[in-house]
Amino acid sequence: MEKTYNPEQIEAKYRALWEDKNLFSSNLNASSSEAYSIMLPPPNVTGSLHMGHAFQHTIMDVLTRYHRSQGKQTLWQPGTDHAGIATQMVVESQLLANNITRHTLGREKFVQKIWDWKSKSGGTITQQMRRLGASVDWEKERFTMDKGLSDAVRRVFIQLYNEGLIYRGKRLVNWDPVLRTAVSDLEVVSTEEQGSLWHMRYPITDSNEVMVVATTRPETMLGDSAVAVHSKDARYTHLIGKTVDLPLTDRKIPIIADDYVDMEFGTGCVKITPAHDFNDYEMGKRHNLAIINILTDDAKINDSVKSRYINMDRFVARKHIIKDLDAQGLLEKIEPHKLMVPRGDRTHAVIEPYLTDQWFVKIAPLAKPAVDAVKNGDIRFIPNNWSKTYYNWMDNIEDWCISRQIWWGHRIPAWYDANGKIYVADSQAQAQAQAGEGVALTQDEDVLDTWFSSALWPFSTLGWPAKTPELSRFYPTNVLVTGFDIIFFWVARMIMFGLKFTGDVPFKDIYITGLIRDGQGQKMSKSKGNVLDPIDLIDGISFKNLLKKRTQGMMQPKMAEKIKQQTQKEFSQGIPAFGTDALRFTFVALSSFGRDIKFDLKRVAGYRNFCNKLWNASRFVIMHLDGETIDTNATLSTPDKWILSRLQEVKTKVKKHLSDYRLDLMSQVLYEFVWHDYCDWYLELSKPLLADDNNKLGTQATLIKVLNEIVTLLHPIIPFITEEIFEQCNATLGKNSRSLMCEPYPTPESQLVLPDTTAEIKWLQTFILGVRQIRSQMNISPSKMLNCFVQDFNTSDECYLDNNAGLIKFLLKVQNLNKLAPEIDAPESATALVGDMKVLIPLAGLIDKEQEIGRLHKKLQKLNQQKTQFEAKLNNQKFISNAPQAIVEAERTRLTSTQNAIVDLSAQLEKMNRL
C-alpha cells in the first residue's frame, strides 16, 4: 500500500468499477423479500451541483448503500427536472446574445433549441453526482419531459379536469411582466422596501369638498372604480353614495362604505382598483364594481382608459401622474413609507396582480387526505416539528394556478373551438372526436407549471399509469430527503397527487435537512460571492481561481472588491484537495437535526485526517499479515476479546442511529471507535502480542476481522477508501473478493460481548494512563526506561497484573515491574492509583520531589472537591429516600472510592513531605 492516502486515484478507480459492474442497479437482490427505494429530488436540468445537493445526496447515498448491503432490492431513482422558466431563461439569454428572441424564432424552433441545449449541456449535474459516488440506478434515469412522464402528466390533467378538480377561469393572478406569465403564490417573494405614501385629493362631484386618499401605487388611479370608507367613520358618512371626479380622467366613481377599510391608516379613505390589487378585487366583487385593467402584459399603461400615459411603463407613468396631480393642486403630500414589494423569484421583477384566463387546480379536496396522511402517521416528518409547518400551510392553501405563458414545458392538453368551448383530451385527434368532425380546433398555448410534473415524480418514474413491476415493488418509497424550502412547492403536492392517483402515500418518511451556510452563517449565494463548490472541496482550488469563480460576471465593482477581501480572509491559501470521502464524512457528521449548518472547512480537514488514519491503520494490519492465511480458530488474548466486544457495542449503536436517521451520531460512534479504541489502544496493544508466538495468530485474526468490519460499517459514508482497503486486504490474503459494496452489513454478535474483558482492559488503561501522566508531568523523556512497583493490590489486581505484565512493560517502557508487600516501605516514588492499588515510579534521580508534592496537592484538591459534592448528596435524607436505589448505591461507591483515593494520596504526600 502507498504510504499516504491518495483519494484522487482511488476514487477514479472505483467510480469506473462500480458502474462497469453495474453495482448500482436496482435489479440487484431481486429475489430479496424486502425492497428499499428513494426518489432523488430531480435537480433542475440547468443546474450544477451545489453544497445543498451534495449534502442531501450524501445522506441519500448512505441510506441507499446501507439498505443495499442489508440485501434488500434497492432503487435510488435519479433524473432531472425540465425546470420550465429557468431553462427557458437560460436559452433565451443565449439567443439574445445573438440578437434573437424566442418570438422571432417561433415556438417550434425555440423549443427545439432548448432540446438541443439540453442534450449538449444538460448533463452537468449528473456528471457531478458521479464524482460524489452517488449510487443511483443510472439505467433508470428520467427526465420530467420524457415520453412516459409526459403521458402521465396528461393522464392526470384529464382526470382532474373530468372530476372538476381542474378548471379554467378569469382570475387575478400574480403576473411577472418580464416573463409575461402567471406565476404561483410560491414563486413570489415579498420583501420590505422603502417607498412612499402619496396623499392625493379626489374632488367630490359638484362640491368644493375633496377626499384625500393615500396610496403606495398612485399610477393605478387610472383604474380606480371607487373610493371606500369605513361605514362608522364619522368624517365621511355624509359622503357615502356620492361620487368623486377621478382626476386625470373624465370618470366619476362612487364613494362606498366597506368595513374592510382601516380607519386608522392614512386618511381613512382608500382608492379601490379591483384589477390591480387582491384586496380591492375582493371588495370590487362585493360591491359589483367595474374591473378596469389598465396594464399591458409587460406592465405598460394600456389604452383602456383614455390618457396621455398610454405605452408608458407603470413606473414612468407614476412620475408623470404625480407631476400632473401636483400641477393641478391635487397632491396633498408625500410621506416616506415602508411596504412589502412582491417580486418574481426568477426575474426579480415587481409582480403585478393581473386579470387573465388561467388554469387552476381546486386544492381543498386534495389537501384533506394529504393532511390526514401525516396526522394518522402514514407519513412521518423527521424531525417531527415540520409537520406543524405543513399543517399550517395546508390549512390556508389556495387553489393552485398551474398555467404558465411560456413555451418550455408540458403543453396543456386542451383545445378550443371557435366559440371557446373547451375539449380536454390526450391528443388533438381525441379532442377532435369530442368536438365532432370539421370543427376547427386550436390548442391552448400555455404550458403547465413545472411543479405539476414534479408532483407525479414518485410514481411517473416507475411507469405509472401502467401497473409495472417497478411500481408495485418500489412504491411507496421509503424516505424523501429534501430541504424545508420545497415542502410546499413539491412535498405537499406529491402527497396530494400520490394519494389521489395511486391510493397510497408516495413516501413513508420525510427527512428534512438543514441548510448549508457559509462559515459566517450566511446563506450561500452567487450575488454574495460566498459560494463553495463541492467539487472544489474534492479537487482543491487555488485562491486565484476561487476568486475568479466568485467574481465572474459581477456587475458592481464594489461588490467584487468586498468578495475579494472576504475570500482572501478565509481562503488566502485556496482550498486543499480533501477528496470525496472526507467531504462526505463531513456532511454526515454535520447532519444533526433542526439546525442549519455553518460549513467549516476545518471539519473537512479533520475528516480527511480520519481517512488518513484509517489508511495507515490498514497499512499496519496488512504489514503484519505476512501474506498468509488467517487462522480464525486461534486462541484470543484479552485485548483481542476486548476489541471484539467493543465492536459489538458499536454495531448496535450504529444500527440504532441509522434507524433514527441520526447519521451524525452514527459517524461519531464509528470515528471514536476507529481512532480511539482500534488505533490508539488495540493497535498499540497488538504490537507486543504480534511479537509473541502464543498470541500472534489470534491477534492477526482479530486485527483483520475488526478492520474488515470497520470498512464495511464505514462504507456507506466513505465508500471509496473503504473499497480500496478491503481490496488490498483481500489481495494480501490471496482472496478473490467481491466488491465491498456487496458485502452484508455487519450485525452485532451477542456472544462476543464480554463484560469481564472490558473490566480488565479498563484496569489496564487506568494503569497505563496513570504512569503516562507521571512521565509527562515529571518531564521524564518518553524513551527513558522506568522501574515500577505496585502495592496494596487485591486478588483481582494481582490476576490482572500477572496477565498483563508484558503489555504494561512494553507500552510503558518499564524494565522491572515488581510487587511490594503492604508492610514493606516503598522507595520515594511518584504515585498513581488503580482502584486501591498504588502504582509507584521510584524517584531515583528521575523525579523532582517538590514537583511530585505539587502534583499530589493538585490531585487531592480535585478529589476533595468531588468528595464534598458526594457527601452533600448522601447527607440529604430526601435524596436517600426518593432517588432510585441504584443511583444512591452508585453515589455511595463513588464516595468510597474517592475517600480511599484521598487516604492513599494523603499518606503518600505525607511521606514525601517527611523525606
Partner RNA sequence: GGGCGCUUAGCUCAGUUGGUAGAGCAUCGCCCUUACAAGGCGAGGGUCACAAGUUCAAGUCUUGUAGCGCCCA
882 binds RNA (CB under 7 A): yes
Q: Which of 239, 292, 617, 901 binds RNA (CB under 7 A)?
A: 617
Counting residues that bind RNA (by CB under 7 A) gives 75
660 binds RNA (CB under 7 A): yes
By beta-carbon proximity to RNA, the closer residue of 232 and 676 is: 676
User: Which helix (H) or strand (E) segment is 360 a member of?
Assistant: strand 352-361
Do residues 84 and 407 make contact, with C-beta atoms less than 8 angstroms apart? no
**Least separation in angstroms between CB 499 and RNA:** 23
- Per-residue contact flags (x/-) with RNA for residues 565 to 594, judged by CB under 7 A: -------------------------x-xxx
* Contact (CB, 8 A) for 595 and 514: yes
Binding of RNA by 884 (CB under 7 A): yes
Which residue lies nearer to RNA by CB, 794 or 876? Answer: 876
- State how beta strands 243-245 and 252-257 pair: antiparallel
Query: Given CA atoms 483, 504, 186, 396 in this order, what sign does their dihedral have?
Result: negative
As a residue count, the chain comes to 915
Query: Given the DSSP bridges, would you call strands 403-404 and 447-448 parallel, antiparallel or unpaired?
Result: antiparallel
The cell for 691 is: 511479537
Q: Which of 304, 405, 468, 668 binds RNA (CB under 7 A)?
A: 668
Sort strands 837-842 and 829-834 into parallel, antiparallel or unpaired.
Answer: antiparallel
Per-residue contact string for residues 781-820; x = within reach of RNA by CB under 7 A: xxx-------------------------------------
Query: How, if at all, do strands 79-80 and 142-143 pair?
Result: parallel
Task: Count other Cβ atoms within 10 Å, centred on residue 281.
Answer: 19
Give phi and psi for 180, each to the nearest 5.
Answer: 55, 50
Question: Looking at 484-631, which runs of residues are DSSP E strands?
Answer: 507-513, 516-517, 597-598
Other beta carbons less than 10 A from residue 770's beta carbon? 20
Q: Which of residues 850-869 bind RNA (CB under 7 A)?
A: 866, 869
Q: Of 223-231, 535-543, 560-568, 614-622, which part binds RNA (CB under 7 A)?
A: 614-622
- Please give the single-letter amino acid code of residue 867: K
| Among the residue ranges 72-80, 427-435, 534-542, 600-608, the one whose residues contact RNA (CB under 7 A) | 600-608
The set of cell numbers assigned to 669 is 460512534
Nearer to RNA, 311 or 392 (CB): 392
Residue 369: cis peptide before it, omega within 30 degrees of 0: no
Q: Is 776 in the site for RNA (CB under 7 A)?
A: yes
Residue 878 interacts with RNA (CB under 7 A): yes or no: yes
Q: CA 835 to CA 792: how far, in whole Å? A: 10
Distance of CA 789 to the CA centre of its chain: 56
C-beta closer to RNA: residue 311 or 522: 522
Q: Is 468 in the site for RNA (CB under 7 A)?
A: no
Told to check if 619 binds RNA by CB under 7 A, we report yes
Residue list 509-538, contact with RNA (CB under 7 A): 519, 521
Q: Which of 536, 518, 543 lies closest to 528 in space, CA to CA? A: 518
Q: Tell me the closest approach of the beta carbon of residue 1 to RNA, in angstroms.
A: 9
Which H helix or E strand runs over 50?
Answer: none
Task: Output 301 or 374, the one with its CB closest to RNA.
Answer: 374
Distance CA 905, CA 900 (A): 9
Pick one of 180, 562, 687, 809: the residue that binds RNA (CB under 7 A). 687
We find the least distance from the C-beta atom of residue 765 to RNA, in angstroms, to be 9
Task: Report CA-CA distances (Å) from 568 to 520, 550, 571, 573, 601.
Answer: 14, 12, 5, 8, 15
Question: Hey, what amino acid is at 103?
Answer: H
Which range of residues in 14-22, 203-211, 462-470, 667-675 is near RNA by CB under 7 A? 667-675
**What residues numbered 2-41 form the site for RNA, per CB under 7 A?**
3-5
13 in helix, strand or coil?
helix
Q: Which is nearer to RNA, 137 or 352 (CB)?
A: 352
Q: Which x/- pattern, by CB under 7 A, does the window 141-180 give for RNA?
A: ----------------------------------------
Binding of RNA by 664 (CB under 7 A): yes
600 binds RNA (CB under 7 A): yes
**In sequence order, what are the residues at sequence separation of 6 or more whose Cβ sits closer than 8 angstroms to the Cβ of residue 116?**
none
Binding mask 327-366 for RNA (x = CB under 7 A): -------------x--------------------------
Interacting residue with RNA among 887, 889, 896, 903 (CB under 7 A):
887
Q: Is 210 in the site for RNA (CB under 7 A)?
A: no
Tell me the three state secondary structure of residue 831.
strand
Task: State in angstroms the smallest separation of the CB of 475 from RNA.
Answer: 29
Q: How far is the CB of 504 from RNA (least distance, A)?
A: 28
Q: What angle do helix axes 638-659 and 795-812 make, rounded to 10 degrees?
A: 90
Minimum gap (Å) between residue 54 Cβ and RNA: 17
Residues 469-498: x/- map of binding to RNA (CB under 7 A)?
Answer: ---------------xx--x----------
Q: Say if residues 726 and 746 touch (Cβ distance below 8 Å).
A: no
Dist. CA 412–CA 421, nearest whole Å: 15
Per CB under 7 A, 692 contacts RNA: no
CB contact at 8 A, 623 and 594: no
CB 146 to RNA: min, Å: 30
Single out the residue of 684, 743, 792, 828 in contact with RNA (rule: CB under 7 A). Answer: 684
Cβ-based burial of 752 (10 A; exposed 0-12, middle 13-18, buried ≥19): middle
Residues forming a β-bridge with 687 = none
Region 357-416 residues binding RNA, contact defined as CB under 7 A: 385, 388-389, 392-393, 396
Q: Which of 343, 603, 705, 809 binds RNA (CB under 7 A)?
A: 603
| Residue 219 DSSP code | G
Binding flag, residue 655, RNA (CB under 7 A): no
Q: Which cell is 510 given?
A: 420525510
Q: Which of residues 173-202 bind RNA (CB under 7 A)?
A: 185-186, 190
Exposure b/e, 632-663, CB count within 10 A at least 16 = b: eebebbbbbbbbbbbbbebbebbbebbeebbb
Q: Does 652 bind RNA (CB under 7 A)?
A: no
Shortest distance, CB of residue 579 to RNA, whole angstroms? 8
* CA distances in angstroms from 336 to 195, 216, 840, listed in the order given: 6, 10, 82
CB 205, min distance to RNA, A: 35
Nearer to RNA, 434 or 616 (CB): 616
Q: Which is nearer to RNA, 139 or 626 (CB)?
A: 626
Q: Is 883 in the site for RNA (CB under 7 A)?
A: yes
CA–CA gap between residue 529 and residue 556 (Å, rounded): 12
Pick the binder of RNA from 597, 714, 729, 856 (CB under 7 A).
597
Interaction between residue 773 and RNA (CB under 7 A): yes
Of 186, 219, 174, residue with least CA distance to 354: 174
Shortest distance (Å) from residue 811 CB to RNA: 9
Phi, psi of 86 (to 5 degrees): -60, -45
Q: Which amino acid is at 828?
A: E
Does residue 683 belong to the site contacting RNA (CB under 7 A)? yes
Task: Check residue 613 for interaction with RNA (CB under 7 A).
Answer: yes
Q: Is 602 in the site for RNA (CB under 7 A)?
A: yes
